Chain A
Amino acid sequence: MSTVDPVEQLLANGLKNLWYPICPTGFIADKPVSLRRLGYKLALWRDTDGTLHALEDHCPHRGAPLSRGVNLGDRLQCPYHGVEVRCDGVTTRVPGSPGCKLEGSQATRYFHVTEAAGAVWLYNSAGNIEEAPPLVLPEQLSSAEFSHFLCYAEWRGDYRYVLDNVMDPMHGTYLHKQSHSMSEGESHAKFVTRDTDTGFIFEKDGQRGVNFDWTEWADTGVHWMRLEIPYPKTGGPGGNFHIVGSYTPISRELSAVFHWRCRPLTGWQRDTWRFLYKNRLEARHWAVLEQDREMLEFMEPDANQRENLYQHDLGLVRLRRHMKNLAKAQLELIEARQL
């Protein structure tokens, strides 16, 4: 018999009232798309002016997929019996039975969506809400001083293994030893954590700017992680290469993995980096990320139930504990019907 732990369930589906990246912006056009994310099946589409909308992909009549229906601009018409659902979740028309009580009711979950840094972002509100808070991203994605590219991938396994992996800087020295940028630095280290205004930094004591030496985790209404890796000389001016990551559950078996590769560059230096990125660097970065994917996908789903952690794992222990506490607090609010 398996009992479902509600804290575990909440974490597995993704915490509520946070922004999550859903997919690259190019995935959504006029034709509605159905995507599983965050414990929901979502229907996403664009209005006539390009504005994004997201409804739960579940018709309020009998649950047919709205995404298979007709795009009527700010609403979708269900393919099964023609019920029309507006982007705010309100059923505007029941053509088979005009005047029935479904008409005018907000019977469908809807979500606030926006576009930034090449991705579609969705506010995972606990219920239907009028307005979502602003999306706050790190400077690497919001400042004109930085140039960035999004790399989107889907990896088998729970998204929390991806968080663990990023909160584990030391794996760079081993797993990525053969990579173009991570062969430097000490092969043993002591790590320390340091609080920030929005989260914490987990870093090698006494080593900076040599390899993958630190990771930052932050909560700005979206959970994101950040790190820097020194570029080899062939990477040109601009200093370190910055990575921002954010990870979204698709299911227990699949994760949506977003990495933004960023550099603080402007003018001809920016253009040159962008040219080299498209021409050759993207493939090299991809090869490094594949090393992570293969490692994580070959781990058993319950590998985290049988661990012997050591000093290097303090960062992920702290993050797991923090996430668990957030989940407990949310659950209490949900049970008190305050969320």
Chain B
Amino acid sequence: MQQPYLEPHQARTRVPNSFEDLLGDSIERAFAVGIHDLPGLVGYLNQAGPTCPGGEPWTEDAYKTLMARLGE
């Protein structure tokens, strides 16, 4: 019999890179301390990292644009 289909990753098309891993960690830490609003989250990323791609500080727009791509 053919092996049953058991694929743990069905949502992503590639393995996350290290920037995405750091970003995921940082977002989860912000959520864990109860930061659930966008200005708060952007402020947290600016203070805790990782750096916004391009090197400028995180802004709400930069965050939204990046997430629209990563979370498409």
Contacts and interface: CB of A to CB of B under 8 A. Distances in A.
A271 B11 contact: no
Contacts of A273: 71
Q: Which of B6, B9, B11, B34 has the most CB of A within 10 A?
A: B11
A63 interface: no
A235 to B, nearest CB: 7
Contact of B36 (A155, A236, A254, A271): A236
A279 B31 contact: no
A271 B64 contact: yes
B36 A286 contact: no
Q: Chain B interface: which size bin?
A: 20 to 34
Given A274-B70, A282-B11, A282-B12, 7 more contacts: A154-B5, A234-B31, A235-B31, A271-B71, A275-B23, A275-B24, A283-B8
Contacts of A272: 27, 67, 71
B24 to A, nearest CB: 4
Interface stretch (A91-99, A130-138, A144-152): A144-152
Interface string A266-306: 01101111111111101100100000010000000000000
A286 B7 CA distance: 9
Interface of A: 24, 149-156, 232-237, 254, 267-268, 270-280, 282-283, 286, 293
A267 B11 CA distance: 19
Interface string B28-43: 1101101010100000
Contact of A278 (B5, B6, B12, B29): B12
Contacts of B11: 149, 274, 277-278, 282
A156 B67 contact: no
Given A236-B36, A272-B67, A254 B4 contact: yes
20 contacts: A149-B11, A153-B7, A154-B5, A236-B27, A237-B31, A237-B36, A268-B38, A271-B70, A274-B72, A275-B67, A276-B27, A278-B11, A278-B12, A278-B70, A278-B71, A279-B24, A282-B8, A282-B11, A286-B8, A293-B6
A153 B6 CA distance: 5
B5 A152 contact: yes
Nearest to B68: A271
Contacts of A270: 71
Contact of A271 (B6, B21, B32, B67): B67
A154 B28 contact: no
Contacts of B72: 271, 274
Contacts of B4: 153-156, 254
A156 B36 CA distance: 41
B55 interface: no
A274 B70 CA distance: 8
B3 to A, nearest CB: 9
Nearest to B35: A236
Contacts of B8: 282-283, 286
B16 interface: yes
Interface in B9-68: 9-12, 16, 20-21, 23-24, 27-29, 31-32, 34, 36, 38, 63-64, 67-68
A234 B32 contact: yes
